[in-house]
Structure 1
Amino acid sequence: MRFGMLAAALMAAISAPAFAGDSPQQEKSMAKDPKIAVVERQIEAWNTRDWAGAGAMFADDAVLHSMMIEPINGQKAIAERIAQLGDGTESIKLDVRNIGRVGDVVFIERVDRFVYKGHAGAVPVVGVLEVEGDKIKAWREYYDRAMLVREMGLSEDFHKAEGE
């Protein structure tokens, strides 16, 4: 009897998709997800170096938080920070590996590839974005800060150099 139940459970597991995203229908619905679409527009703004557009996609009371430093609060301050980083960025590609959504939160695994003031670099990143309507309410970034600074060709963290 136990063997029969075990065999039935095993057969059900083998015949079921291993992951909900395995079906073409699931992939189509993810592509049309409005919260993921907001994040994809943000990625496109970075990839095209549309710094004003990237900054404008944040809510007035948004928070941008690279987890190793203090958060940046408010759309205006976030837009200013993005513009500052953009000044030295000759090229950038946010190379998305995985993107998905749980509730209002979009998770994105990526490798940021860039040329910053003549220095080519690449840094693996995980971003966690809270999206409300067509705006980003919160963006938390997880990456190796020392690696970013090194890949940018800087001798010290630009955060410290700015006295923040």
Structure 2
Amino acid sequence: MARLFSILSEVIAAWQAKDVEAVLAHMADDIVWHYAAPGMPPVRGKAGAEKLLRRFQADMHDIQWRIFNHAEAGNLLFLEGVDDYRTTDGKRMAVPYAGVLEFQGDLIIGWRDYVDLGVIAAQKAGEPFTAQVEALLARKAGR
């Protein structure tokens, strides 16, 4: 397994275990996290990352963080996947994304997720998954 992807695998395991502290242990103190680049301003620093993670944790259950493809180039990890989970009110969400994680040593210093906020809003409003989302969900995860 590639070095950076193995670190991300630890982050995924911690997130699925709802261990926010273990997730944060993989982030630099000055991390810059673009949760929905370019649609939202970035979260800066571990305190901001913790606040975002705790907000997510409150409404994300039965998390299936599926990664279809990944590649490493230097200190960068590129990802393609779907976040598949249930909200507190039982609604299934499936959010396709592409992401780039930037590392300094073993710590994540930059995290940029590229998601379609319109897809998230439609699903939160109760609309069914689009054919495009269904097709992505049907893919076999690579990890």
Classify the TM-score, shorter chain. Answer: 0.7 to 0.9
Residue 142 of structure 1 corresponds to 114
What SS does the aligned partner of 1:109 have?
strand
- Structure 1's consecutive aligned runs of 4 or more residues displaced over 6 angstroms after TM superposition are none
User: What's the C-alpha RMSD, in Å, of the aligned pairs?
Assistant: 1.6
Task: Name which one, 1 or 2, has greater alpha-carbon Rg.
Answer: 1
1:17-32 to 2 correspondence within 5 Å? Answer: 31=1
Letter in 2 for 1:88: D
With over 3 angstroms needed to count, the CA separation of the structure-2 counterparts of 1:87 and 1:106, relative to structure 1, is: same
Specify every segment of 5 or more residues in structure 1 that has no aligned partner in the other structure, as ranges: 1-30, 155-164
Q: How many matched pairs?
A: 123
1:136-161 CA-to-partner distances (Å, cap 9, x unmatched) read 1000000111212332458xxxxxxx
Specify every segment of 5 or more residues in structure 2 that has no aligned partner in the other structure, as ranges: 127-143
Separation of aligned partners in 2, 1:105 and 1:136: 10
Separation of aligned partners in 1, 2:60 and 2:5: 25
Separation of aligned partners in 2, 1:55 and 1:152: 27
1:19-75 CA-to-partner distances (Å, cap 9, x unmatched) read xxxxxxxxxxxx0x3222111212222233222222332100101102010000001
| 1:112 corresponds to 2:59 | no
Greater relative contact order structure (CA < 8 Å, 6+ sep):
2
Residue 103 of structure 1 corresponds to 74
Contact persistence 1:46–1:94 (CA under 8 A): no
What SS does the aligned partner of 2:18 have?
coil
Residue 3 of structure 1 corresponds to none
Separation of aligned partners in 2, 1:150 and 1:49: 26
User: How far 1:103 moved relative to its partner?
Assistant: 1.1
Residue 132 of structure 1 corresponds to 104
Instruction: Provide TM-score, normalisation by structure 2.
Output: 0.79
User: How far 1:113 moved relative to its partner?
Assistant: 0.3
Instruction: Provide TM-score, normalisation by structure 1.
Output: 0.69
| 1:41 corresponds to 2:10 | yes
| 1:90 corresponds to 2:43 | no
Separation of aligned partners in 1, 2:21 and 2:124: 22
Residue 133 of structure 2 corresponds to none
With over 3 angstroms needed to count, the CA separation of the structure-2 counterparts of 1:150 and 1:54, relative to structure 1, is: farther
What SS does the aligned partner of 1:125 have?
strand
Separation of aligned partners in 2, 1:149 and 1:57: 29
Identity percentage over the alignment? 28
